[in-house]
């Protein structure tokens, strides 16, 4: 597929003409609610086979072929250009689609309140074809090892219909927050652990879970080895039942990284014990912190490169957000909270307030500012086709197992377009 960045004067009709597509196909692929409302700086995914590259100053055919992992003779032949003559700046070269690689994918889905919304049901139904795992969030463990289940209305059936494996997510959430006390109650009690594992095995058999995913966060530092020992015990028990085991890991860049989120997560031990891990490589920009990209490419790469020193690449799933945030300025951390927005909603606000979308090259993320009707200044950071492509490039470069999304429910159609264009999704 082709990623096009909207310029002044662009319309869906002109883009359709430029790329030999149709305005209707482009609008439907990007799920544009108002197709005539494009924003300068907005990324649009054009649903065509292959892509086009416009020659820039200093480009050579050899460099372009290398950039796209092509044979230079093949590139010259396809585009009917000579390898012995300089390329004209602005010349459009056709790049055929690369062979697809195979990866695993996961998406968490989090019902809120007393019922599952129609939006979440539809999101699960429309995205499960692109998923290896669908992960209802979450089974909250009690201090005695029993579990409080999430709402599951329709999720097991939807997963089954789309050959997506169910992931059973176990958390130490209590009253809406991760609890070190709940974690300690489980990790220091053999009886609670046995109860928990029997509960997991029973429920997994009843519902049809394929993977058991431990997302125990903000544990006490002194419980690190207890957590490792529990995972060894759990792995032995769960594998007897034919179940996979995985964990979620805080985004560390060193083994001795300080901070309550990090210290009890032992990358080396998890890499040895479990079948795979999900790196939570997002929330640098978060609702309670200052405005910045949610998953800037530099810090994300640093976490992955550290993880690769502790475990093989085929055990690593890259965490990826499907949302952004809108901060009202001035923002006071600890007092103010940013609003979570979908990429589609972010673009809608840029149009509403008549501002261009910028692209930050350092973080590889789109951003813009605007003034609302009450005179308040806002700063928005979100995801688009360009930013997600950078994460896919990182997965390919480092040979990672795949990608894990937090979370379904906020529309980001461009992600699924590019994902399906680049990869064959492994189904287990």
Q: Which residues are tagged catalytic?
A: 217
| Cβ count near 189 (within 10 Å) | 15
| Cβ count near 339 (within 10 Å) | 13
> Residue 220 is encoded by which pair of tokens?
């006490």
In the block, tokens 């998890």 appear at 270
Q: CA 255: distance to chain centroid?
A: 24
Q: Are 365 and 391 in contact, with CB atoms under 8 Å apart?
A: no
DSSP 8-state secondary structure symbol assigned to residue 293 = -
Three-class SS state of 370: strand
What does the alpha-carbon distance between residue 152 and residue 396 come to, in Å, rounded to a whole number? 34
Three-class SS state of 268: helix
What does the alpha-carbon distance between residue 92 and residue 79 come to, in Å, rounded to a whole number? 9
> Residue 75 is encoded by which pair of tokens?
């590139």
User: Which DSSP helix (H) or strand (E) runs through 228?
Assistant: helix 224-240
């Amino acid at each position: 597929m082709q990623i096009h960045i909207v310029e002044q004067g662009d319309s869906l009709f002109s883009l359709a003409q430029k790329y030999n597509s149709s305005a209707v196909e482009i609008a439907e692929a990007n799920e544009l609610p108002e197709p005539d409302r494009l924003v300068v700086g907005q990324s649009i995914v054009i649903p065509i086979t292959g892509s086009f590259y416009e020659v820039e100053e200093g480009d050579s055919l050899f460099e372009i072929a290398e950039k796209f992992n092509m044979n230079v003779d093949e590139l010259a032949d396809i585009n009917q250009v000579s390898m012995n003559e300089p390329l004209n700046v602005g010349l459009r070269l056709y790049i055929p689609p690369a062979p697809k690689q195979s990866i695993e994918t996961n998406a968490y889905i989090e019902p809120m309140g007393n019922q599952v919304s129609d939006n979440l049901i539809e999101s699960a139904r429309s995205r499960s074809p692109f998923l290896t795992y669908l992960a209802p969030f979450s089974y909250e463990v009690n201090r005695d090892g029993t579990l409080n289940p999430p709402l599951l209305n329709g999720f097991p059936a939807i997963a089954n219909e789309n050959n997506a494996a169910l992931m059973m997510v176990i958390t130490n959430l209590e009253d809406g927050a991760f609890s070190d006390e709940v974690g300690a109650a489980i990790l220091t009690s053999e009886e609670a652990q046995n109860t928990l594992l029997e509960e997991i095995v029973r429920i997994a058999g009843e519902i049809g879970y394929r993977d058991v995913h431990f997302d125990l966060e903000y544990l006490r530092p002194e419980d690190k080895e207890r957590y490792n020992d529990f995972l060894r015990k759990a792995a032995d028990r769960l594998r007897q039942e034919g179940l996979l085991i995985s964990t979620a890991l805080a985004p560390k860049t060193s083994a001795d990284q300080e901070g309550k989120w990090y210290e009890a997560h032992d990358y080396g031990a998890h890499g040895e014990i479990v079948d795979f891990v999900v790196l939570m490589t997002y929330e640098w920009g978060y609702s309670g912190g200052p405005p910045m990209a949610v998953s800037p490419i530099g810090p994300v790469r640093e976490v992955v490169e550290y993880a690769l020193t502790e475990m093989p690449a085929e055990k690593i799933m890259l965490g990826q957000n499907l949302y952004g945030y809108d901060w009202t300025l001035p923002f006071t951390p600890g007092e103010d909270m940013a609003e979570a927005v979908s990429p589609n909603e972010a673009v809608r606000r840029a149009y509403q307030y008549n501002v261009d979308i910028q692209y930050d090259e350092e973080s590889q993320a789109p951003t813009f500012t605007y003034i609302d009707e009450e005179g308040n200044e806002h700063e928005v950071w979100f995801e688009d086709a360009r930013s997600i492509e950078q994460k896919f490039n990182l997965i390919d470069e480092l040979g990672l197992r795949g990608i894990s999304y937090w979370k379904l429910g906020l529309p980001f159609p461009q992600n699924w377009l590019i994902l399906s264009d680049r990869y064959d999704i492994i189904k287990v």
